[in-house]
Amino acid sequence: MSKPAHLVLVGGGHAHALVLASFAAHPEPRLRISLVSPEPYATYSGMVPDVVAGAQALRAAQIDLPALARRSAAAFVAARVRHIDLARRALELNDGSHLAYDLLSCDVGAEPARTTPVDAGAPLIAVRPIASAVARLEAALGTPPPQSGRRIVVVGAGAAGTEIACALAVRLRHEPLASIVVCDAAGRPLAERGQRTQAQVERAFAELGIRFAGGAAVERVTRAGVELANADEIPADLIVWATGAGGATLFRDSGLPVDRNGCLLVGTDLCCQTHPEIFAAGDCATLTAWPDLPKAGVYAVRQAPVLAANLRAAVSGEPRRAFRPQARFLALLNTGDGRAILSYGSLAWRSGWALRLKRRIDRRFVAQLNP
C-alpha cells in the first residue's frame, strides 16, 4: 500500500471545520491530515453579536480545534504560517520549522482591506480577524467611560457593521451618555440587500439611538475620530472598522495568484489554477468565475462539502465537484434587542422568532463541531 498523501489544512475557518467533521465521519485512508492554526479555538462569526452584547459567553461561540482534529485523526499544529515554499511544497512556520505537504488547503479568513490613512495612536479596532477583534472590544469596553460619555463610530453599514453597532448599543444601554454613529459611503445601511431590509435596519437604529451617517466615505482615521469625504468630522473614543475584506499577505508574498485585495484566486473546484495541489475556501479565497462574490460565512459553509469532496478526489482520481454560489441567500441579522431581521430577496421582517431561529442555527453549527 502506498504512503498516504499529507494534507495540510491551514486555518480553522468554517469550511475547514466542516471538512474535518467530514473526515471524522468518513475517514480517508489515502490522506494523513494536519491542521495548522495559531489559536486552539475558532470563533464562529454568527454568534459574535451576542458575545459583544453580553448575551453569550465567548467560549460558547468557539470551536475547539484540537478536539476536532483528534476526532478526525488529524494532527493539530499550533503555529502561524509565515511563508509557502511552492517549489519544495513546504510551509515555513513562525518558529522557523518547516512542514511539508502534498496537498494544501487554506481557510485563514480575511484581513481588513483598508486603504484609508490611519494616524498613529488612533483608537481603531478592525472586526477581522474575529477572535482578536472580540478580545480588543472587550478590553476597550472594560475601561471606564469618559465623563462626557463613550463615543463610538462604526465604519461600514454592511451585515457586520450593522450587527456590531446594535450589539454595542445594547451593551452600553446603562451608559446614558454613550453615543454610536455608523458611517458608510452608501446612502442607506445594508446597501447590498433589498429596500425592506434597509428600512428595517433604519428602524432598529432609530429605536436603539444609533445615528447613521451615510453618503460619504471615511477619508481619514485620526486619534480624535473620523474625517469624512464631505468634510464632516465625527469624534470618537473607539472606532470599529467593519468594511472590506482582504487576503493575508502570505499568498502574495509566496508568489501565488491573488486578486486586487490579496485573496487567493481559485476555480470553481476551489483549486489554485497555477498550483493544482493548493486549495482555498472562505473569505481568503476569490472565485475567478465570481470575483465580486461577497465575503460571507454562508458561502464558506456551502463550499465545505465541495472542498472535502475535491480533497478526496485529489488522491482518488475521481472527478471533482464545482462550487456554484446561490443567487441569493437567507440572512438573519441580530439587532441586539431580542429580535433579528430575516432578510431574503425583497422580503424582510424583524421579530423575536427570527432571533430564536438564528440562535438555534448558530448553536447547532457550533455543537456539531465540538465534542
What are the backbone dihedrals phi and psi of residue 171, each rounded to the nearest 5 degrees, phi first?
-60, -35
296 band by pLDDT with thresholds 50, 70 and 90: confident
Q: What is the DSSP string of 111-133?
A: B----S-B-TT--EEES-SHHHH
pLDDT in tens, 204-261: 999 999 999 999 999 999 999 999 999 899 999 999 999 877 777 899 999 999 999 8
Domains and CATH numbers, the chain: 5-111+245-316 (3.50.50.60), 124-244+330-369 (3.50.50.60)
295 vs 114, higher pLDDT: 295
Report yes or no: 307 and 15 within 8 Å, Cβ to Cβ. yes
The type of residue at 354 is A
Mean pLDDT score, 28-37: 97
Mean pLDDT score, 305-328: 95
pLDDT in tens, 131-175: 789 999 999 999 999 999 999 999 999 999 999 999 999 999 999
Mean pLDDT score, 297-301: 91
> How many angstroms separate the CA atoms of 361 and 46, rounded?
9
Sheet holding 347-351, edge to edge: 331-334, 340-344, 347-351
Q: So what's the pLDDT on residue 297?
A: 85
Q: So what's the pLDDT on residue 301?
A: 94
What does pTM read for this prediction?
Answer: 0.92
Q: So what's the pLDDT on residue 93?
A: 98
Q: Calculate what percentage of the chain has a pLDDT beyond 90.
A: 87
